[in-house]
Amino acid sequence: MASTLRSWKDFPSLVLRLPFPQKLIILIALLVAGAAITATLTLEFSRPIPLEKSSATAAIAIENANLFEDKSVGSNVIMPLARGVKVNLLDPVNLSEDFVKIQAILPRRNSKPGYVQTAALSDWASDNPASAWAIVGLSRPKGNSDDSAIRRFLDQLKAFEQRFPKTPPCDQSALERANLLIDLASRQKIIGTPREEWARDVSAAKDALASVPTTALAEAQRNEMARMEKEIAALEEGAPTTPAAAKPPTAPPAAPVKPEVAEKVRGLLRSAQLAWDGGDLNACERYANQALALAPDSTTAKGFLFQVKQARDALRD
Closest C-alpha among 291, 286, 246, 290 to residue 266: 291
- Residue 15 has, within 13 A of its CA and on its CB side, a CA count of 13
Mean pLDDT of the chain: 80
Helix, strand, coil proportions of the chain in percent (round to 5)? 60, 10, 30
- Please check whether residue 276 is in contact with residue 307, taking contact to mean a CB–CB distance below 8 angstroms: yes
Q: CA 15 to CA 105: how far, in whole Å?
A: 49
Digit-coded pLDDT (tens) for 149-201: 899 999 999 999 999 999 999 998 999 999 999 989 988 887 778 888 899 99
Angle formed at CA 18 by CA 14 and CA 20, multiple of 5 degrees: 140
Question: pLDDT value at position 29?
Answer: 75
Query: Residue 145's pLDDT band (boundaries 50, 70, 90)?
Result: confident
d(CA 249, CA 234): 15
Rounded to whole angstroms, how far apart are CA atoms 141 and 153?
A: 7
Instruction: Give the whole-angstrom CA distance, residue 249 versus residue 190.
Output: 19
pLDDT value for 181? 94
Nearest to 71 by CA among 91, 86, 56, 51: 91
CATH 2.30.30.40 fits 56-125, yes or no: yes
**Closest to 266 in 3D by CA, of 288, 237, 281:** 288
Confidence of residue 60 (pLDDT cuts 50, 70, 90): very high
In a 3-state reduction of DSSP, which class is residue 300?
A: helix
Q: Which residues of 28-49 are buried (b: 16+ CB within 10 A; e: fewer)?
A: eeeeeeeeeeeeeeeeeeeeee
Domain ranges of the chain: 8-46, 56-125, 140-241+254-316
pLDDT higher than threshold 60 for residue 255? no
Over the stretch 114-140, which tens digit does the pLDDT of each residue have? Answer: 999 999 999 999 998 988 988 888 888
Burial of 145 (0-12, 13-18, 19+ CB in 10 A): middle
For 78, the 3-state DSSP assignment is strand
As a whole number, mean pLDDT of residues 227-245 equals: 69
Mean pLDDT of the 245-267 span = 57
Q: Tens digit of pLDDT for each residue in 159-168?
A: 999 999 999 9
By C-alpha distance, which of 210, 125, 218, 128 is closest to 167? Answer: 128
Q: Name the residue with higher pLDDT: 233 or 27.
A: 233
Q: What's residue 99's pLDDT?
A: 93
